[in-house]
Amino acid sequence: MSDDHLLPPDPDEVSEMDDLRVDPHRESDFEKFPDELTHEQREVAGLSQGQIVRKRFFRHKGAMISLVVLAFIIIVAITSVGAGPIPGWYQWQHTDLIPPVQDEGPTISVVPSFLGGEGLAWGEHPFGVDNQNGKDLFALTMRGVQVTLVVILVLALLSVTLGVMIGALAGFFGGWTDSVLMRITDVILILPLLVIVSVAAFSFGASGLWSVALALGLFSWTGLARLVRAEFLALREREFVDAARVAGASPTRIIFKHILPNTVGTIVVSTTLLMGAGILTEAALSFIGFGIQAPNVSLGALVNDYDTAFGTRPWLFVFPGAMIVIIVLCLQFIGDGMRDAFDPRQKRIPKFKDLEKKQEETKADMATRPNRMHLGG
């Protein structure tokens, strides 16, 4: 009984919970059953949903590390070769022809000197040089990162807009709206994404950044739409929606003000994972010749261009590919961290340390009765 109210299952109940916290009846409940407060309940008691989510997310080590790494990559990618008219700090651009160098290999080094390496060194050409085409690979890769990021941002923007709109309308109104929208979703869903996107990118005029981004965005929203629809189907039956309706709220207001904020978790998580998958799809498209092609640069196009170089000049192939892996991996971990943070059923196994602390606290509580037991906060 008391358990259900202490773990706020939904944001819309948060205010309710805050009221309950100061309710004298509740206090006596705690007093009667102090042991019914589990470890995790104490941790969240008195916090708003947003605070709980943030706290859980910041505790997810993988997600935090990934966030830092991803931020670092984005900052380096933008500042090094510059964006648009703004120049960067790196000496070459992806369009620059550079004179052939003696040693084409990468000059970046992270092996410390006491292990026989050169210490942390940047060098003249950190990722190496492509002598055949006179290109500096670092400049190419950073430009590729920029383009790839633009592609997945467009993809995310389009998919979220389309997916949320379609899912929300289908889920909220039901009936024939639902049938029509979901049948459209099904049509796109039964065809493999790669198939439909390559045909679409092709008919938009292949090889440019925008046509690929557009094609990816226009056909990647199906999963999101289904998830949002399912959320809406469940949420529209809830009491707070009835309350809003009785109070005279219009459907638009109910959708955007009352239901949509409750689906943010699902949307954010699946968009993050979608962006990761989008990078891989973009790369795959480039590989089979329907994505961004040379002279345009994207990470997928770079890997595709240099796929025959692996035997002789592996760095040309490895650095752009590794960059894809790192970015997607970061997005995966961030998505995982957010899923854990948003999931109200999420259980964290407490560490032994924490359990011991809890036992001591309980003991202390027993000793200091009838003082109010503190709520963790």
Partner 1 sequence: MFLFIVRRLIASALLLLVASFAVYIMMAYAGDPLGFLNEITNPTQRAAIERDVTEALSLDTSPVVRYFHWLGDALTGDFGISARTRQSVNDELASRIPVTLKLVAASSILSIVIGVIVGIVTALRQYTGFDYIVTFFTFVFFSLPVFWIAVILKDVGGIRFNDWLRDGASISTPVIVTLAIFAGIVGYSIAGGRTPRRLAIASISAVVAAGLLVYLSVSEWFLKPGIGLPVLIPMAAGIAVGVTAIFAGIANRKALYSALSTAALGCVLYTPLQTLFDESGMGWWWTLLLLVVTLVASYLIGIAWGGYDKGLSARVSMLVGFLVALVIFVDRHLQSWQEYSSNPVIRNRPIKTIGDKEARLEGSFWVLNNDTFSHLILPTMALMLISLAAYTRYSRASMLEVLNQDYIRTARAKGLTERTVVVRHGLRNALIPLATVIAFDIGGLLGGAVITETVFEWNGMGRLFIEGLQNLDPNPVMAATMVVGATAVVANIFADIMYSVLDPRIRIHDQ
Where does this chain bind partner 1 (CB under 8 A)?
Answer: 62, 183, 186-187, 190-192, 194-196, 198-200, 202-203, 276, 280, 283-284, 287-290, 300, 303-304, 307, 310-311, 317, 321, 324-326, 328-329, 332-333, 336, 349
Smaller CB separation from partner 1, 270 or 332? 332
Q: How far is the CB of 311 from partner 1 (least distance, A)?
A: 6
- Give the residue with the Cβ less far from partner 1, 137 or 373: 137
Taking the least distance from each CB to partner 1, the nearer of 92 and 219 is 219
Determine if the peptide bond prior to 192 is cis (ω within 30°): no
Minimum CB separation of residue 332 from partner 1 in Å reads 5
Nearer to partner 1, 17 or 140 (CB): 140
> Least distance to partner 1 from the beta carbon of 282, Å?
10
* ω into 261 cis (within 30 of 0): no
Q: How far is the CB of 166 from partner 1 (least distance, A)?
A: 16
Residue placing its CB nearer to partner 1 in the complex, 283 or 373? 283
> How many angstroms separate the CA atoms of 291 and 298, rounded?
9
Q: Report in angstroms how near the CB of residue 117 gets to partner 1 at its nearest.
A: 18
